[in-house]
């Protein structure tokens, strides 16, 4: 089996590639390095061998399809390069479509890029996969639930999106459209698709550059800088360890019954952001102060956050008997360990 991972040099994509390779699959990836990084896949290049041409070509401003027998291949380009993606899709058995604009900071600052990357990118992937009827795995997000207030969130719940003048909701809406399109390809054209809604995936290697809370808190705690809690810290999230997420994705991809379905992938344990800051500070044995920063100062006037976000995971439990294994304190310890020699 050869899996194609779009966004493979991103945080989740790189863990997915590693696990697929470990299980004996071949992996190709495409990433434009907009938010991903070669550093995330250095260890895979060393362990499984790659064609160096991709790097050379990039230096010359070209893009190439890696060829040859390497179990692991990567190409630096965007999924919007249709001829290139068509070739990569042809060579694989299943597509994990993870390439997307992510991170609240990026989304608020670059709404056009967010919408175009998420909508057009998914259109291209589905259209090409459909020509060869290659199974597509679409990574969506818990953000699609928007401001829904029924907790926990179940896959069949209504999605409650905010007004179009507020940039944040463009992300939720663009990913919801991706989901509609994927399900439509299944219903109308019998393209096998599986949609997953990921709930705040975290772990070592995640960057805080695009606003993600845990790597930011850990970096601040280790550097002795103030830990910046946005708003009053009563908003909550459910953090899921990246290896648990990858385990769910691979098992769902193997599950025939999952085709045409949407699944929450998340850890049901809820924590407020204020408590998260206190936990990080305590586990890192940090002297940092916890500083409360108004949302408007970070994301501009009128920014709307979700007060709570908790997954109902009964469906995925029923389909593949999946249960998250790594809990929050241990996740924090692992992220601290990862960053402790980098600060």
* Part of the chain binding ligand UDP (CB under 6 A), chosen from 72-80, 111-119, 230-238, 260-268: 230-238
**Which member of 171, 230, 241, 299 is catalytic?**
171
Quote the crossing angle between the two packed helices 328-340 and 273-283, to the nearest 10°: 50
Structure tokens of 192? 């096998």
Query: How many of the other CB atoms lie within 10 Å of CB of 342?
Result: 7
Sign of the dihedral defined by the CA atoms of residues 186, 92, 207, 222, in that order: positive
Choice between 221 and 273, CB closer to ligand UDP: 273
Residue whose entry in the numeric block shows the structure tokens 């695009």: 210
Choice between 111 and 192, CB closer to ligand UDP: 111
Q: What ranges make up the beta strands (E) of the chain?
A: 2-6, 26-31, 72-76, 94-97, 135-141, 193-198, 201-202, 227-230, 236-237, 240-241, 261-265, 271-272, 290-293
- Residue numbers 128-147 binding ligand UDP by CB under 6 A: 143
Structure tokens of 36? 């991903």
Among 104, 138, 245, 262, binds ligand UDP (CB under 6 A): 104
Among 79, 100, 119, 212, binds ligand UDP (CB under 6 A): 212
Q: Taking a C-beta distance cutoff of 8 angstroms, is the pair 289, 227 a contact?
A: yes
Question: Taking the complex as a whole, how short is the minimal distance between the CB of residue 103 and ligand UDP, in angstroms?
Answer: 7
Residue whose entry in the numeric block shows the structure tokens 């290697």: 205
CA–CA distances in Å: residue 331 to residues 18, 108, 206, 221, 228: 19, 27, 12, 15, 19
Among 41, 213, 290, 332, binds ligand UDP (CB under 6 A): 213
First to last CA, the chain: 39
Structure tokens of 137? 């795995």
Among 74, 230, 322, 339, binds ligand UDP (CB under 6 A): 230
Catalytic (active site) residue 145 = no
Choice between 66 and 284, CB closer to ligand UDP: 284
Helix, strand or coil, per DSSP, at residue 3: strand
- Residue numbers 300-339 binding ligand UDP by CB under 6 A: 305
Question: Taking the complex as a whole, how short is the minimal distance between the CB of residue 213 and ligand UDP, in angstroms?
Answer: 4
**Distance from C-alpha of 218 to C-alpha of 220, rounded to nearest angstrom:** 5
Q: Is 215 in the site for ligand UDP (CB under 6 A)?
A: no
Q: Taking a C-beta distance cutoff of 8 angstroms, is the pair 137, 94 a contact?
A: yes
- Residue numbers 8-67 binding ligand UDP by CB under 6 A: none
Choice between 77 and 143, CB closer to ligand UDP: 143
CA 190 to chain centre: 26
Choice between 37 and 228, CB closer to ligand UDP: 228
Choice between 66 and 229, CB closer to ligand UDP: 229
Question: Taking the complex as a whole, how short is the minimal distance between the CB of residue 83 and ligand UDP, in angstroms?
Answer: 34
* Part of the chain binding ligand UDP (CB under 6 A), chosen from 57-65, 206-214, 282-290, 321-329: 206-214
**Distance from C-alpha of 144 to C-alpha of 179, rounded to nearest angstrom:** 10
Site string (234-253) toward ligand UDP, x via CB under 6 A: -x-x----------------
Q: Taking a C-beta distance cutoff of 8 angstroms, is the pair 90, 114 a contact?
A: no
Choice between 128 and 273, CB closer to ligand UDP: 273
Instruction: Give the binding-site size for ligand UDP (rule: CB under 6 A).
Output: 14
Q: Which residues are catalytic?
A: 171
Where do contacts with ligand UDP occur on this chain (CB under 6 A)? 104, 143, 200, 211-213, 216, 228-230, 235, 237, 273, 305
């Amino acid at each position: 089996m050869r899996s194609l991972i779009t966004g493979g040099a991103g945080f989740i994509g790189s863990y997915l590639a590693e696990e697929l390779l470990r299980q004996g699959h071949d992996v190709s990836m495409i990433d434009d390095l907009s938010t991903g990084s070669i550093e995330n896949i250095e260890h895979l290049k060393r362990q499984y061998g790659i064609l160096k041409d991709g790097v050379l070509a990039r230096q010359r401003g070209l893009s190439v399809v890696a060829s040859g027998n390497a179990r692991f291949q990567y190409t630096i380009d965007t999924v919007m390069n249709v001829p290139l993606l068509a070739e990569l899709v042809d060579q694989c058995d299943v597509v994990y479509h993870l390439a997307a604009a992510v991170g609240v900071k990026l989304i608020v600052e670059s709404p056009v890029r967010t919408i175009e990357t998420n909508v057009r990118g998914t259109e291209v992937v589905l259209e090409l996969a459909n020509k060869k009827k290659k199974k597509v795995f679409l990574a969506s997000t818990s953000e699609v639930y928007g401001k829904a207030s029924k907790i926990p969130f179940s896959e069949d719940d209504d999605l409650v999106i905010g007004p179009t003048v507020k940039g944040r909701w463009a992300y939720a809406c663009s990913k919801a459209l991706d989901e509609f399109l994927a399900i439509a390809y299944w219903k109308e054209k019998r393209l096998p698709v599986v949609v997953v809604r990921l709930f705040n995936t975290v772990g070592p290697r995640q960057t805080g550059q695009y606003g993600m809370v845990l790597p930011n808190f850990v970096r601040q705690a280790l550097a002795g800088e103030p830990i910046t809690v946005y708003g009053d810290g009563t908003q909550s999230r459910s953090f899921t360890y990246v290896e648990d997420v990858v385990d769910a994705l691979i098992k769902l991809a193997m599950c025939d019954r999952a085709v045409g379905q949407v699944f929450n992938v998340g850890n049901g344990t809820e924590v407020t952001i204020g408590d998260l800051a206190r936990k990080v500070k305590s586990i890192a044995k940090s002297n940092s102060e916890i500083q409360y920063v108004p949302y408007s100062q970070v994301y501009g006037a009128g920014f709307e956050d979700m007060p709570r976000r908790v997954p109902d995971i009964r469906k995925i439990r029923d389909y593949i008997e999946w249960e998250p294994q790594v809990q929050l304190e241990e996740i924090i310890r692992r992220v601290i360990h990862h960053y402790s020699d980098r600060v």
